[in-house]
Amino acid sequence: MADDVNEVADEEEIESSEALIAVHWREEEYYDPPAALAAVANASDPAIRDQFTEDKFPDCFTAYADLLTWYKRWDTVLDTSNAPFWKWFVGGELNASYNCVDRHMETHPNKAALIWLPEPESEAHQAITYRELYVRVNEFAAVLKGLGLKAGDRITFHMPMVPELPVAMLAAARLGIIHSQVFAGFSGTAAGHRIADSGSTVLVTMDGYYRSGDLLDHKVKADEAVEAAAREGQRVDKVLVFRRYPGQYSAGTPMVDGRDVFVDDLLAEHKGEIVEPAALKATDPLFLMYTSGTTGRPKGCQHSIGGYMAYVAGTSKYYQDIHPDDTYWCMADIGWITGHSYIVYGPLALGTTSVIYEGTPNYPDAGRPWRIAQQLGVNIFHTSPTAIRMLRKVGPDEPAKYNYHFKTMTTVGEPIEPEVWRWYYTTVGKHEAAITDTWWQTETGGFLGSTLPGIDKMKPGSCGPAALGIYPVILDEDANEVPAGSGKAGNICIRAPWPGVFQTIWGQPERFVSTYYAKYNKDPESKDWHDWPYFAGDGALQAADGYFRILGRVDDVINVAGHRLGTKELESAALTVEEVAEAAAVPVVDDVRGRVVEMYVSLKPGVEGSADVENKVRIAIETDIGKIARPKNIWIVPDMPKTRSGKIMRRVIAATSNFTDTGDITTLANPEVVEKIREQVQSAKRAKGEVPRELSETEAHEIKTFGSES
Ligand code: WTA
């Protein structure tokens, strides 16, 4: 009897806790790693896990650091004295550019480091050997040096997917200049905010690039970026403009006298110059990568040279199974962390051939990726669930028409539905490739959860066990451990630091601690890492077999096609429109892009809703953030559902947009508005044929709890 009472009490507690849900997940079937791969993979012996058990922490990670060439070996593997600002390989000195370029130039100079495919199929691909890469990196480093840039300075790149981008990154890294690459699809204004936040005085861009058949004017964004930065008090002295076609200007926007310079002109002045790589501290920053969070201000995640390079080299070796003679193609954009870690730094540190593709995957048709794979002999393929869903939708039978063979394939950035996973495995991988579903984040530098492709069984929809040397735990809101196999979800945390973890948020160390470590920290004075679990901001559950299933963000971040968009950023963009009084952004489940954004706005008294206001909101979002953030719908509503303290209940409008149950609304200050909004939005969506299918359990959970953090 007493037990029964306790059980009821427990259940009530579970009900009331947003992050902890009692769920009845369907377990998926296992797939064996391909036998051919198991025999030759870099990690082929399960005993590799014994080298990374907790009793061997942190020294286990020297195996990763030993993949690099060091000028000076470290004295201390992990210094925790300024917790949670972990320092890896303290006392060590190295150079990322040397590790990705020079050392391979010495051993295999004529091997392709990069193969670039322009989007137009009429343009030939370009293979850039390690020797050529060496020359180009040195010359561009000479350009940067000539501008007076030095170690510790920041430089912003707003570059498309062209080889000039890794060249520029490696040139900056050579000198210790901290680079911040902003995704080219982001607007000029978004680039401007990031220039200002990082304090960059030089912007590197390109006149134009191809996207879905159009040669876009990209230079125009540089002008907007410089202006936006100036509004925040940051002056940009120089804008370096690469030309998509050297010697010919592809943009319509004029060059600004004294400020804008063509890079090909500058390079001509530094032809053949060599810039020795600087011996930099392992703990010096390599780059900043901006990402969204719960406030409007993006977070510049600062990554170190030594720890980051060691981690991406190690995980590229064991999880991507990169061997020097592979042809590796990651379709992500270098403007995201995936491209930094697994197009540029990881693969090049291992001296392999990394493919870069300029355009959209389905241009001119859905066979393009498979044609590229066949043409170049790509044997490792890496992409996102959104790209897989899209290619499946537009060309489900295309892969069979091409003669390529992948040994491993990666998926990253969002949860992948088991059904989509199976198409990837069967049709794209032709039953012969291992899939690694890699769970990680901008902040984490590299993979945290994944199967080892030559060893572990795969399970669709689960990323697999923790990566080597990573010790996750799922905690409930009261910091109790949620046991594996309990069928319950909670907040996934990582108990111990790892070399790839970011060092801080640029210029916001308090936010670094409060966002990622404060939640489960027991003693802010503690210098023992055991007291500082890393809070990833994702909901997850662990099956009895130890495999993790990632459910998605628990904060106010909307993951659109693998791109993190903060609700506050979207809302502040909408609020720049004069007529708008209040704005709320919510996710809507989408069969291709995972989630898309819907915006709700209410207008100032006396202002009438119109297509014109709607359009202004759309333009404001595209201008401030970029086209990727364009809302699917903008709903002008009479009022927002609010709590008595005036907080907008995003979960209620999210439920409206997704046709799910709005849950308990009795605590609202204005419950009557919920019905009005539902009527307005859902009838409009019905008329447009936008009634969604029934949501899966994980999707429904996300919508139900959306915005509960704020
Ligand atoms: C989500 C991308 C499920 C997750 C590398 C995380 C995933 C956020 C996976 C980070 C995966 C990433 N399965 N969800 N395999 N990988 N995510 O910073 O919510 O762009 O927190 O880094 O994407 O996105 P970010």
Q: For 68-99, what is each residue's pLDDT tens digit?
A: 999 999 999 999 999 999 999 999 999 999 99
User: Both tokens of residue 524?
Assistant: 């802010």
Asked if residue 176 lies in contact with residue 141, where contact means CB atoms within 8 angstroms, the answer is no
The rounded Cα 686 to chain-centroid distance in angstroms is 34
CB atoms within 10 A of CB 495: 18
Q: For 12-54, what is each residue's pLDDT tens digit?
A: 333 333 334 434 457 799 999 999 999 999 999 999 999 999 9
Q: Are strands 594-603 and 633-636 parallel, antiparallel or unpaired?
A: parallel
**Across all residues in the chain, what is the average pLDDT?**
94
Query: For the chain, what percent of residues have pLDDT higher than 70?
Result: 96
DSSP code, position 478: T
For ligand 1, whether the C-beta of 415 sits within 6 Å is yes
Asked if residue 273 lies in contact with residue 55, where contact means CB atoms within 8 angstroms, the answer is no
The rounded Cα 322 to chain-centroid distance in angstroms is 21
Query: For the chain, what percent of residues have pLDDT higher than 90?
Result: 90
Cα separations in angstroms, 68 against 95, 106, 288, 653:
9, 15, 21, 50
- pLDDT at residue 510 tops 70: yes
User: CA neighbours within 13 Å on the CB side: how many for 98?
Assistant: 18
- pLDDT at residue 452 tops 50: yes
If one compares 21 and 482, the residue with the highest pLDDT of the two is 482
- pLDDT at residue 591 tops 60: yes
Q: For 608-620, what is each residue's pLDDT tens digit?
A: 999 999 999 999 9
Give residue 116's pLDDT band: very low, low, confident or very high (50, 70, 90).
Answer: very high
End-to-end CA distance of the chain: 39
Q: For 515-558, what is each residue's pLDDT tens digit?
A: 999 999 999 999 999 999 999 999 999 999 999 999 888 888 99
Relative to the CA of 536, which ligand 1 atom is closest? 21
What residues have CB less than 8 Å from 42, skipping those under 6 apart?
A: 317, 318, 321, 322, 323, 454
For ligand 1, whether the C-beta of 439 sits within 6 Å is yes
Pocket mutation for ligand 1, best pick of 337, 437, 439, 698 (most atoms within 8 Å of C-beta): 439
Separation between Cα atoms, residue 125 and residue 117, nearest integer Å: 5
Give residue 463's pLDDT band: very low, low, confident or very high (50, 70, 90).
Answer: very high
For ligand 1, whether the C-beta of 340 sits within 6 Å is no
For ligand 1, whether the C-beta of 702 sits within 6 Å is no
- If you take atom 24 of ligand 1, which residue's CA is the nearest one? 441
- pLDDT at residue 435 tops 50: yes
Separation between Cα atoms, residue 107 and residue 70, nearest integer Å: 17
Q: For CA atoms 88, 92, 93, 94, give the dihedral sign.
A: negative
Quick one: average pLDDT of 273-286? 98
Q: Token pair 């995936």 is at which residue? A: 338
Q: For 285-319, what is each residue's pLDDT tens digit?
A: 999 999 998 888 899 999 999 999 999 999 999 99
For ligand 1, whether the C-beta of 414 sits within 6 Å is yes
Asked if residue 358 lies in contact with residue 162, where contact means CB atoms within 8 angstroms, the answer is yes
Q: What is the pLDDT of residue 664?
A: 86
The helix-helix angle for 188-198 and 219-231 (nearest 10°) equals 50
- pLDDT at residue 432 tops 80: yes
Pocket mutation for ligand 1, best pick of 538, 542, 547, 705 (most atoms within 8 Å of C-beta): 538
- pLDDT at residue 271 tops 70: yes
Q: What is the pLDDT of residue 23?
A: 46
Q: Residue 549 Cα, ligand 1 centroid: separation in angstroms?
A: 12
Nearest residue to 533 via CA among 479, 599, 488, 483: 479
- pLDDT at residue 683 tops 50: yes
Separation between Cα atoms, residue 330 and residue 344, nearest integer Å: 10
User: Both tokens of residue 601?
Assistant: 């706005």
User: Both tokens of residue 410?
Assistant: 């990666």
Give residue 710's pLDDT band: very low, low, confident or very high (50, 70, 90).
Answer: very low
What residues have CB less than 8 Å from 626, skipping those under 6 apart?
A: 183, 185, 186, 187, 190
Q: For 137-193, what is each residue's pLDDT tens digit?
A: 999 999 999 999 999 999 999 999 999 999 999 999 999 999 999 999 999 999 999
Give the global pTM: 0.94
For ligand 1, whether the C-beta of 552 sits within 6 Å is yes
Quick one: average pLDDT of 237-250? 96
The helix-helix angle for 611-624 and 567-575 (nearest 10°) equals 130
Q: What is the pLDDT of residue 667?
A: 85
Report the chain's C-alpha Rg in angstroms: 25
Is residue 362 left, alpha or beta, with left meaning phi > 0 and alpha meaning psi from -120 to 50? alpha
Separation between Cα atoms, residue 30 and residue 455, nearest integer Å: 13
Separation between Cα atoms, residue 187 and residue 125, nearest integer Å: 28
For ligand 1, whether the C-beta of 438 sits within 6 Å is yes
